Structures are given as C-alpha cells and as structure tokens.
C-alpha cells in the first residue's frame, strides 16, 4: 500500500511537504493519499445491499504526518494538531486522545475536522493502540459537495495515516470496513461504496463492489477493443453537502428503502393472503431478492442469508420479475406515517402497536435524523433501486461481451436510463443536473448521468476520445458561460479522467 512519489502529483506533493515544514519546523514522515471517486452506474443502491460500479479519479486527499512518541509515564494525553494547506478556509484544530471515547465527535456540527476525527476514532478502535502525538497537514482537491466523495476520501486517508503512524499497515479489506463504519460517526448513514473504491481501486479498472453477503471487489474493464473513450466529470456547481441536507434527502431515502424492504419482503415470502407463515424481517431490498428467488424456486441456492450461486443473467431476470411484483404491491403516490404503520401492522400482527414511534425506533436506527414532511414514496424508490441494480449487472455483462461495434452506445444507454430513474423515481437529481446531462448528450456524449448522492454535485459522461476536446468546449460554453461563471476556473469544474489507483502511503 506504499509507493514512491512520481507523476503529475509530484509538484502538489512537494508543495504540501514544504508547507508542512514551514508550519511545524520538521519534515513530514510520510504522506497518505486516498482518491475521490466517480460512480459510473449504481446510485443509492449500496445501502440496499446491491452491487455498484465506481472508479477512482485523479482528484484526492493528501495527509502529511509527523509522529512523536508518547512516554509510557507521561501525564499528557496524545494530541493531534490538525492543519490545512488552505488555513484561511479551514482553520487549525487541536484535540486530545482519550482512553474512554478516543475522541468526541459532535455530529450536529458541520466541522471539516470531524472527518479526520472519524478516521482517527475508527482505526484506533480496531488496532487497540495508544497513538503518538500527531502533527497533520491536509491538502484536498476533491471538490466538496460535488458528489465525488470528498468526505470519504478524507476519512479513508485519515484512517490510513493514523494506522501507519501507529506502526500498522492494515490490509485493504480491513481498512475499507473500518472506514465504512468510521464515517458514520459524522452523522450520515453511508452505504460503503465510497470508501471501498477510495481504498480498493486498481489502475485502469472500474470496480464491481458487492456488499452482500460480504464485501467483495472485482475489477471490470470496459472492453479495450471498443472505441477509445474517456469519462468526463462536470460539476453542476450546485453544492449538496450530505451532512447538511441528509435529513431531507439521503437519510430519508435510507428510511424509505428500509421500510419498503420490510413490506415487500413480507409479501414475497408469505404471499398477499397467507398470514399463517412466519414472515422474515428483511432489512434490505437485496435480502428481499433472495426471498423472491427462493419463492420462485430458481435454484440459485437456498437460505435467507446465503450467497446465491448463479449466472449474472439469472439475477438480471430475477430483478426484472421482482420489479413487476413491486409495481403491484405498492400503491401509487406517497405514504403518510399512518399509512406506513397500517401496512406494517397488516403483515406483522401484534407489532408496531405504538404507531410511528415503533417505526422510527426500528427503521431510523443509525440514520441520525429524518424529515418526513413530504411523505414516503415507496413505490418509486423500490422501482429505482431494483432497476438500477439490474442496470449495473447489465453494464458489466456488456463489458464482458464479445465486443459488438456499438458497445459504447449500449453502455451509454444504460447510463441514460439511470439518470432518468434517479431524476423521476428517486428524485435525487435537480434542475441543473437535468440541464447539464441533456447538454452533455447534445455535445457528443453517448451517456450522461448524475454521480454521487445527487441533489447537486457532478455528472459523469461517457465520451468517445476523439470528441473529448470539442465536448468540453461545448459544455463550457453551453453551461458555465451561459450561467455567468468565470470560465478561467473551468479546469476545476470539468475534466476528463480514466480509472485510477486507490489509497497509498508515500514515503
């Protein structure tokens, strides 16, 4: 997990080391790096248990570190002095290690240093060591609130840097699982995709990341025999800070999908009329798919929590059939709180007697807060999750095919269908993202969609390589210049990229 410093990052890396020495008067011992990511396809389905297909980009978080050992008989607790290469925007912070809680994190306050604290707390819980004193300087160029996972890159780099300062080099799988858990201390119920790709990415490949029944990552190459291509990331410049908007957006979707899984799982396992069968308590829509495959006697292996064995095509067919069932099970329009309670009571006799209080206690655990003023649109949320899970598998199937001439067009069509579903069924797009994706298609992209949580942030477009320069020029003129933005900064807003590598230590 370590590498020498070279390539395009060298100049920025050296600037960070110079700034570190100017601030602390000593050289940094090492630099930890973890990249941002762009999700090619598979939005808002990781926390539902389904596979996603992200790739690492060349924008990242760098953490320069100097460690000072703490004497065993010292009366002073280990401290962290946390600085940023941009101190005017990100003010210094200092905190102490405590034996009982490691570090306190106030998830109600949106403080930039909370993300370092998350990685610090998570990794120290796992390795069980008292840390040294740490002097830290951060340099991140992943745009915040752009849907490129700046917060997860920060948490991953933080966990890796603290582990390495403690003399531990965790394997990538363990580090990923730590980072997934640790970021939740910030108050957002993340699913795991962002941390997985930031740590486990391999050069030149996207990763098919599976979360169920356990974490697994498989490199996926877009066929090299197809037309040369680039992924172009374009920032809508609508900022959506997940921490700030979570209660109305991200966390609400987690609640909706959890609640829908419990209801749909009850229906497919016991039928719509038979109340004598014990009803499993599915937690995710991925578990519901297993229940459905069992009920259909598909032969894809048995057992509620077991991994199914079968071809990707069989899973695609199972998802398509379950989509059709869900269209019949859920009513059109939103469910109010009373509607949801009644639906649960019908399937789970004698439970949820306290009404919505019981529902909140069970389904909002770990979410951190939800606003319910708009109701629960369960049918649309399930429609998106199941169809998006199917599109991920179809995307991988196309990549593994025989190389038909229109492979880019096939991949682009799946990305376009994903954007439509994100906008219309999951309602995680926004007018600017809809405008930008339409412009990207008109400018030469074969596929364009929002990436990340949505409600702002970035788009990702699949563009034939020979069109990239002209494509970028058209988007700059048709979106950024049109909306009055100073296009001298456009290199920070739109860039072409190919899949990059994951978390590393530079020594």
Residue 494, SS3? strand
- Per the model's pLDDT, the better-predicted residue between 148 and 429 turns out to be 429
Please check whether residues 201 and 267 belong to one and the same domain. no
Q: What is the pLDDT of residues 338-359, one digit of tens each?
A: 999 999 999 888 889 899 999 9
Output the domain CATH number for residue 70.
3.30.230.10
Q: What is the pLDDT of residues 65-97, one digit of tens each?
A: 999 988 766 778 999 999 999 999 999 999 999
Q: Is beta strand 53-68 parallel, antiparallel or unpaired with respect to 79-84?
A: unpaired
Q: What is the pLDDT of residues 123-167, one digit of tens each?
A: 999 999 999 999 999 999 988 777 788 999 999 999 999 999 999
Give the per-residue pLDDT at 71: 75
For range 214-231, the mean pLDDT:
84
Please check whether residues 217 and 258 belong to one and the same domain. no
Residues 344, 336: Cα–Cα separation, whole Å: 13
Mean pLDDT of the chain: 89
For range 467-486, the mean pLDDT:
96
Give the per-residue pLDDT at 318: 93
Residue 396 belongs to a domain: no
Please check whether residues 41 and 165 belong to one and the same domain. yes
Confidence of residue 1 (pLDDT cuts 50, 70, 90): low
Q: How many other C-beta atoms lie within 10 A of the C-beta of residue 29?
A: 15
Please check whether residues 258 and 120 belong to one and the same domain. no
Q: Name the active-site residue from 46, 139, 194, 294.
A: 194
Does the pLDDT value for residue 438 go beyond 80?
yes
Please check whether residues 155 and 298 belong to one and the same domain. no
Please check whether residues 277 and 359 belong to one and the same domain. yes
Residue 450 belongs to a domain: no
Please check whether residues 76 and 199 belong to one and the same domain. yes
Lowest mean pLDDT among 104-113, 206-215, 220-229, 451-460: 220-229
Please check whether residues 118 and 40 belong to one and the same domain. yes
CA distances from 292 to 92, 279, 315, 317 (A): 53, 13, 11, 12
- Quick one: tokens of 36? 């941002």
Indicate the residue among 332, 355, 381 that finishes a domain.
Answer: 381
Does the pLDDT value for residue 305 go beyond 70?
no
Residue 63 belongs to a domain: yes
Residue 102: φ, ψ to 5°: 70, -60
Residue 88 belongs to a domain: yes
Residue 355 belongs to a domain: yes
Residue 19 belongs to a domain: yes
Domain that holds residue 26: 2-221+500-506
Give the per-residue pLDDT at 246: 75
Give the per-residue pLDDT at 273: 47
CA distances from 197 to 37, 148, 229, 398, 500 (A): 7, 11, 21, 21, 10
Please check whether residues 215 and 265 belong to one and the same domain. no
Residues 186, 111: Cα–Cα separation, whole Å: 9
Does the pLDDT value for residue 245 go beyond 80?
no
Indicate the residue among 381, 404, 427 that finishes a domain.
Answer: 381
- Rg (C-alpha) for the chain, rounded Å, is 23
Give the per-residue pLDDT at 463: 96
Does the pLDDT value for residue 240 go beyond 80?
no
Indicate the residue among 329, 351, 381 that finishes a domain.
Answer: 381
Does the pLDDT value for residue 301 go beyond 50?
no
For range 266-287, the mean pLDDT:
74
Output the domain CATH number for residue 283.
1.20.1440.340
Q: What is the pLDDT of residues 319-338, one digit of tens each?
A: 999 999 999 999 999 999 99
Percent of the chain predicted with pLDDT > 70: 91
Residue 438 belongs to a domain: no
Does the pLDDT value for residue 180 go beyond 90?
yes
Please check whether residues 189 and 255 belong to one and the same domain. no
Q: What is the pLDDT of residues 363-394, one digit of tens each?
A: 988 777 888 888 999 999 999 999 999 999 99
194 is catalytic: yes
Please check whether residues 74 and 208 belong to one and the same domain. yes
For range 173-192, the mean pLDDT:
88
Does the pLDDT value for residue 299 go beyond 60?
no
Residue 466 belongs to a domain: no
Please check whether residues 107 and 184 belong to one and the same domain. yes
Query: Per the structure, how many domains does the chain have?
Result: 2
Does the pLDDT value for residue 418 go beyond 60?
yes
């Amino acid at each position: 997990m370590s590498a020498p410093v070279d390539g395009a990052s060298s100049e920025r890396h050296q600037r960070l080391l110079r700034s570190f020495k100017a601030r602390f008067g000593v050289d940094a011992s090492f630099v930890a790096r973890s990249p941002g990511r762009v999700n090619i396809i598979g939005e808002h389905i990781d926390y539902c248990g389904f596979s996603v297909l992200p790739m690492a980009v060349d924008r990242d978080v760098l953490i320069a570190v100097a460690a000072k050992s703490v004497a065993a008989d010292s009366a002073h607790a280990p401290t962290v002095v946390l600085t940023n290469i941009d101190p005017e925007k990100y003010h210094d912070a200092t905190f102490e290690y405590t034996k009982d809680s490691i570090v306190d994190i106030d998830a109600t306050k949106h403080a930039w240093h909370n993300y370092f604290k998350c990685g610090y707390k998570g990794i120290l819980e796992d390795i069980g060591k008292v840390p040294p004193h740490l002097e830290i300087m951060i340099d991140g160029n992943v745009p915040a609130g752009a849907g490129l996972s700046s917060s997860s890159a920060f948490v991953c780099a933080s966990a890796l840097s603290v582990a390495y300062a403690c003399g531990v080099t965790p394997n990538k799988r363990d580090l990923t699982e730590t980072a997934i858990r640790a970021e939740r201390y910030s108050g957002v119920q993340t699913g795991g995709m962002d941390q997985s790709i930031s740590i486990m990415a391999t050069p030149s490949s996207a990763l098919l990341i599976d979360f169920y029944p356990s974490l697994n990552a498989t490199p996926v190459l877009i066929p090299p025999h197809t037309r040369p291509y680039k992924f172009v990331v374009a920032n809508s410049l609508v900022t959506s800070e997940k921490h700030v908007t979570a209660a109305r957006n991200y966390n609400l979707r987690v609640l909706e999908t959890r609640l829908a899984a419990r209801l749909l799982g009850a229906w497919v396992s016991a039928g719509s009329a038979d109340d004598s069968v014990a009803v499993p308590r599915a937690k995710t829509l991925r578990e519901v798919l297993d229940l459905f495959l069992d009920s259909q006697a598909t032969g894809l292996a048995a057992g509620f929590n077991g991994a199914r064995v079968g071809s990707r095509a069989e899973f695609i067919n199972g998802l398509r059939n379950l989509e059709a069932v869900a269209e019949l099970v859920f009513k059109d329009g939103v469910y109010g709180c009373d509607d949801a309670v009644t639906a649960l009571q019908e399937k789970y006799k004698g439970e949820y007697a306290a009404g919505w209080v019981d529902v909140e206690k069970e389904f909002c655990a770990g979410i951190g807060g939800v606003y319910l003023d708009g109701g629960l649109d369960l049918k649309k949320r399930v429609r998106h999750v199941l169809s998006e899970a199917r599109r991920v598998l179809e995307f991988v199937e196309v990549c593994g095919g025989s190389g038909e001439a229109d492979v880019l067009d096939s991949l682009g069509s799946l990305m376009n269908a994903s954007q439509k579903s994100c906008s219309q069924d999951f309602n995680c797009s926004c007018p600017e993202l809809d405008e930008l994706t339409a412009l990207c298609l008109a400018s030469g992209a074969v596929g364009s969609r929002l990436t990340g949580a949505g409600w702002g942030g970035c788009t990702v477009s699949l563009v034939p390589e020979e069109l990239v320069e002209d494509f970028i020029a058209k988007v700059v003129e048709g979106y950024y210049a049109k909306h009055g933005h100073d296009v001298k900064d456009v290199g920070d807003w739109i860039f072409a990229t190919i899949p990059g590598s994951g978390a590393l230590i530079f020594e």
